[in-house]
Each structure stands twice: as C-alpha cells, then as structure tokens.
Amino acid sequence: MGKRKITITVETHTLLSVRRRKILTRAWCQQCSDFTEFTSLEEAVALTSCDDADLNELIASEKLHTIKTLKESPLVCFLSILRHITKA
Ligand SMILES: [Zn+2]
C-alpha cells in the first residue's frame, strides 16, 4: 500500500479516461526516447489543471514534452503529463 500503488492507480485511471475519448496520437517523443502518446494542448491544460501560462512554462522548462504537428498547435507527450500530475 505504498505511494507507488497510488501512483499507478492514478496513471491507469487517467490513461483510461483519456483513451476512452480517443484523443491520443501515438508518436515518437524525443525526450522520452520512445513512442508515447500525445494529446492536445487543451487536454494538457485540463489534465494538469494549469492555465495556459503555467503550461507554457512547463513546456519551456521541458517538464512537458511537445511535438510540432502539421496543424497549428503542438501536441503534448502524455507520459510527461502523467509524470507531472503524479509527482505532485
Ligand atoms: Zn515524452
């Protein structure tokens, strides 16, 4: 019943609820050096409970990973979001 178990539960619940909404895109994350799932900036704001300014700061400090897309707004690495929200 350690902290790790709670973290896994949070990660699983978050991942499942986002998956259900089909808003994840699978792509290569350079900072994770792996294929991870990416979500929109709007979702990242909702998941982290940050405002836009906070989110930009997290991205600038590379606490959140992003990739550029053909569309205008970048996508945010879902793993980096999970790490951020479960660390708090
Ligand atoms: Zn990443």
DSSP 3-49: HHHHHHHHHHHHHHHHHHTT--EEEEETTTTEEEEEEEHHHHHHHHT
d(CA 51, CA 9): 25
Ligand 1 centroid to residue 65 C-alpha, Å: 5
**pLDDT mean over 39-66:** 92
**pLDDT mean over 3-9:** 79
pLDDT at 22 over 60: yes
Q: What is the pLDDT of residues 74-84, one digit of tens each?
A: 899 999 999 99
Ligand 1 centroid to residue 3 C-alpha, Å: 23
Give the DSSP letter of residue 62.
T
pLDDT at residue number 13: 80
pTM for the model stands at 0.75
**pLDDT mean over 64-85:** 89
Ligand 1 centroid to residue 34 C-alpha, Å: 8
